[in-house]
Amino acid sequence: MSDTYREPVRVAVEDEGGRAAKFLGFVLLTALAAGAGGLIGMQMVETVRDSIARDASEAARRTSFAPIYSSNAQLRTLMPMVTNLAAPRDTWIRLQASVILKDEAVEEASLLVSRIEQDILAYLRTLTLSQIEGAGGLQHLREDLNERAKIRSEGQVRELILESLVVQ
């Protein structure tokens, strides 16, 4: 007896049926994934469309014209004010503004407007150029002038509107 061990010979036989089943499974899974992706995509598009339509209708409802001031409010234009700033002394400022007076009839509105003009002019003389530089400086100036006008008028002024400001 020979002690020789022989390995069995394996013959690779391609199974046509198994290969076709794998290919069919791959095609089926690909089609299923594409269909699911398409459905999810369509649902997302509809959700976004509904959201945009809802936001647009809310914005249209919010922006419907509602007057800020009543019809009895008075708009008075202040005289243009020109003065030099506190620092640097050779810098000049020119300010044009208007005030909106409250609904009640303001007695002697021209006297009130002239007192507000004087107060604003005195305030402008105390400013330095660095205080009114930039958007933040302009906003602070606007808030300060509004507050001064309201105080000077004892609450008769609703708002002071800056029409123009030139610093030279």
Give yes or no: residues 53 and 78 share one domain: no
Number of structural domains in the chain: 2
Single residue among 42, 66, 90 that ends a domain in this structure: 66
* pLDDT exceeds 60 at position 153: yes
Single residue among 66, 87, 105 that ends a domain in this structure: 66
Task: Choose between 155 and 34: higher pLDDT.
Answer: 34
* pLDDT exceeds 90 at position 8: no
* pLDDT exceeds 90 at position 106: no
Give yes or no: residues 29 and 103 share one domain: no
Do the domain assignments include residue 38? yes
Give yes or no: residues 85 and 24 share one domain: no
Do the domain assignments include residue 6? no
First to last CA, the chain: 119
Do the domain assignments include residue 1? no
pTM of the model: 0.59
Give yes or no: residues 53 and 23 share one domain: yes
Give yes or no: residues 80 and 99 share one domain: yes
Domain residue limits at 40:
13-66
Going by pLDDT thresholds of 50, 70 and 90, the confidence category of residue 100 is very high
Do the domain assignments include residue 137? yes
- Over the range 9-40, which residues count as b (16 or more CB within 10 Å of their CB) and which as e? eeeeeeeeeeeeeeeeeeeeeeeeeeeeeeee
Give yes or no: residues 106 and 134 share one domain: yes
* pLDDT exceeds 70 at position 105: no
pLDDT at residue number 131: 94
Answer for the pair 80, 118: CB distance below 8 angstroms, yes or no. Answer: no
Do the domain assignments include residue 7? no
Do the domain assignments include residue 4? no
Check which CATH number belongs to the domain holding 106 and give it.
3.30.479.30
Do the domain assignments include residue 62? yes
Give the pLDDT mean for 122-142: 94
Give yes or no: residues 92 and 49 share one domain: no
pLDDT at residue number 60: 79
* pLDDT exceeds 90 at position 1: no
Give yes or no: residues 84 and 56 share one domain: no
pLDDT at residue number 20: 86
Structure tokens at 68: 């800020």
Single residue among 50, 66, 82 that ends a domain in this structure: 66
Residue 80 is classified by DSSP as P
pLDDT at residue number 44: 95
* pLDDT exceeds 70 at position 12: no
Give pLDDT tens digits for 45-95. 999 999 999 998 888 777 666 667 767 788 899 999 999 999 999 999 999
